[in-house]
C-alpha cells in the first residue's frame, strides 16, 4: 500500500547546492513527489515543528538553524514511506550514519544533518498538513 511521509531538505543542503542531488536520490529510491515548495520557516513555524524538543538543550540552536535560510518541504509517497525514508536518511548524527545514506553523504553535524523525515504515519499526516492542502498533493 502506498503511504505518505514528509521531508524537509534543510538549510545546509540548500546553501551547499545539494537540493537536486538529494531529490534525485529520493526519486531513484522510488519516492513519488506529491508536493514540493521552497519556503523560509518563520521562528514560530520552526518552534512549532520541533515543539516536541522544546525542553532539550539544543532547541534554541535548532530553531536558529532551521530559520537560517530557505528549505524545501515535500510530501512523498511510497510503500512503507516512513521507515523507508528514515533508512535512506541514516542516523541523526551523520558521523554515525551508515554508508550510502543521505546524512552520511551530505550531513555536516548532528545539528546540520541535511534532511528531515517524519518518524510515524501519524506525524507524517500532521507535518504534511502544516504546509500543504490536500488539493496541492498530486
Ligand atoms: P528529524 O526530526 O529532523 O528528522 P531525527 O528524527 O533524526 O531528525 P530528532 O531527535 O527528532 O532527530 O532531532 C531533531 C533535529 O534536532 C535533528 O535532526 C537535528 O537537526 C537536531 N538535533 C538532534 N539532536 C541534537 C543534538 N544532540 N545536538 C544538536 N542538534 C540536535
Ligand atoms: Mg525527529
Question: What would the pLDDT profile of 65-105 be if each residue is shown by its tens digit?
Answer: 999 999 999 999 999 999 999 999 999 999 999 999 999 99
Which one is catalytic: 116, 127, 131, 132? 116
What does the pLDDT look like over 49-60, one tens digit per residue? 999 999 999 999
CA-to-CA distance for 113 and 133, rounded, in angstroms?
Answer: 27
> What is the C-alpha end-to-end distance of the chain, expressed in Å?
17
What does the pLDDT look like over 10-36, one tens digit per residue? 999 999 999 999 999 999 999 999 999
pTM equals 0.98
What pLDDT shows up at residue 113?
A: 98
Q: How far is the CA of 123 from the centre of ligand 2 (A)?
A: 10
Q: How far is the CA of 111 from the centre of ligand 1 (A)?
A: 6
What pLDDT shows up at residue 1?
A: 77
Closest CA to 67 of 14, 106, 22: 14
Please, what are the domains in the chain? 3-136 (3.30.70.141)
Q: How far is the CA of 34 from the centre of ligand 1 (A)?
A: 25
Which of the listed residues 92, 112, 120 should we mutate to test ligand 1's pocket, taking the one with most ligand atoms within 8 A of CB? 92
Is-catalytic flag, 116? yes
Amino acid at each position: 500500500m502506498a503511504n505518505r511521509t514528509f521531508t524537509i531538505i534543510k538549510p545546509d543542503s540548500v546553501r551547499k547546492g545539494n537540493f537536486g542531488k538529494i531529490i534525485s536520490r529520493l526519486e531513484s529510491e522510488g519516492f513519488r513527489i506529491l508536493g514540493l515548495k521552497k519556503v523560509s520557516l518563520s521562528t514560530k513555524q520552526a518552534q512549532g515543528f520541533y515543539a516536541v524538543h522544546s525542553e532539550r538543550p539544543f532547541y534554541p540552536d535548532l530553531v536558529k538553524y532551521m530559520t537560517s535560510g530557505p528549505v524545501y518541504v515535500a510530501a512523498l509517497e511510497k510503500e512503507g514511506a516512513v521507515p523507508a525514508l528514515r533508512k535512506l536518511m541514516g542516523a541523526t548524527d551523520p558521523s554515525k550514519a551508515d554508508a550510502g545514506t543521505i546524512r552520511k553523504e551530505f550531513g555536516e553535524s548532528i545539528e546540520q544533518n541535511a534532511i528531515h523525515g517524519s518518524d510515524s504515519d501519524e506525524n507524517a499526516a500532521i507535518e504534511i498538513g502544516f504546509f500543504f492542502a490536500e488539493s496541492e498533493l498530486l
